Amino acid sequence: MKVLITGGAGFIGFRLAKKLIELGELTAPSGAVEKIDEITLFDIGEAADIEDTKGIKVTRIAGDISDRATVSRLIDRDDISIFHLASVVSGGGEKDFDLAMRVNLDGAINVFECARARTGKPRVVMTSSIAVFGGQHMPEVVGDTVKQGPQTTYGVTKSIGELLTNDYTRKGFFDGRCARLPTVIIRPGKPNAAASSFVSGVFREPLNGEDFKLPVTADTVMQVAGYRSIVDGLIHLHELDGAKIGIDRAIMLRGYTVSAQNMMDALHRVAGDRTLGSISVEPDPFIVDICKTWPLDASYERAEALGFPCDSGLDEVINNFIEDYVDV
């Protein structure tokens, strides 16, 4: 079978590809466990090379997801599973509404329509975000049963993606699942345009010996999860019996609530005698305003009941990051 990963040059998409190569197989659309013979990483720019492909044909394609014909060429087999991760992120969407609508809404519909056009009723796993929550009716604890009131265009397009995934699935056009992600940490490399980019930077920059300006106050809370458990969660979601998910195909992947202070404390606890760059608290009104729209806490009951993985907390995540990206 083939696996298409949109956003395949991104942090999660690329790690997912490596994990799929390691596994070598998935449950095929037919229901049988089947060898993966082809993985396509699609993104706006070409993904990095992947070394050991175990005989899996890995193709890296750059293109515009808002172009239907481009997407159609990617979804060229009936025995395909699609991980649709491509997205303009929160801060980026606030700065360019039209781009967010084109990439996140038109792009998702292109993926959905091309999946629908296949006869194999492929599985489509799309990433949503905890940014779907917000607004005047948001309770203190959000979750799978809570009304969505997104306060960023990013969150709005994700909320729409959940609705459409449910409807395309209800109509039998494909077998959709949505993973509603907390902030996934710790991202390597450069900061991105997500308002939550600092949640990785506060670990990454000091561990790389660089000073870091924290753009929020220390008591700012958010829901986070480590990238290893999120990648495992996406695969778990793909493999789950659809009947157990039910007609609401969007599930909060498991995370936990931490404050910026918790993050700084954990970093210093785990770092031991490493030399860290310093952290200064310098709130940036643009970021602070977006953070104010985020929920205080979240419940993950459905994901827990459905056996989704979860890491043990910040210390484990920092240690993983050091192993994967710092001491290499």
Residues that bind a second copy (CB under 8 A): 97, 135-137, 144-151, 153, 156, 159-160, 163-164, 166-167, 170-171, 246-248
User: 3-class DSSP state for residue 122?
Assistant: coil
Task: Measure the CA dihedral 314/316/321/326, to 10°.
Answer: 110
| CB nearer to a second copy: pick between 55 and 242 | 242
The nearer residue to a second copy, 154 or 203, going by C-beta atoms, is 154
| Nearest approach, Cβ of residue 328 and a second copy (Å) | 41
Nearer residue to a second copy within complex by CB, 171 or 190: 171
Q: What are phi and psi of 168, to 5 degrees?
A: -60, -35
Rg of the chain over all Cα atoms, to the nearest angstrom:
19
Q: Are strands 256-259 and 221-226 parallel, antiparallel or unpaired?
A: antiparallel
Looking at the Cβ atoms of 18 and 102, the one nearer to a second copy is: 102
Q: Are 71 and 111 in contact (CB under 8 A)?
A: yes
Rounded to whole angstroms, how far apart are CA atoms 35 and 79? 11
Q: Would you say 12 or 253 has its CB closer to a second copy?
A: 253
d(CA 132, CA 50): 33
Q: Minimum CB separation from a second copy for residue 134, in Å?
A: 9
Q: Which helix (H) or strand (E) holds 259?
A: strand 256-259
Residues 6+ apart with CB under 8 A from 146: 133, 138, 139
Q: How far is the CB of 112 from a second copy (least distance, A)?
A: 10
Integer Cα distance of 221 and 316 in angstroms: 19
| Alpha-carbon torsion (178, 259, 297, 308), positive or negative | positive
CB of 168 to a second copy, least distance (A): 9
CB of residue 139 vs a second copy: minimum separation in angstroms?
9
User: String of b and e for 166-184 (b: at least 16 CB within 10 Å)?
Assistant: bebbeeebbbbbbbbbbbb
Q: How far is the CB of 99 from a second copy (least distance, A)?
A: 13
Distance CA 228, CA 323 (A): 12
Q: So which residues are the catalytic ones?
A: 154
> Which CB sits closer to a second copy, 127 or 157?
157
Pick from 301, 293, 20: which is nearest to 130 by CA?
293
Contact 63, 26 (CB under 8 A): no
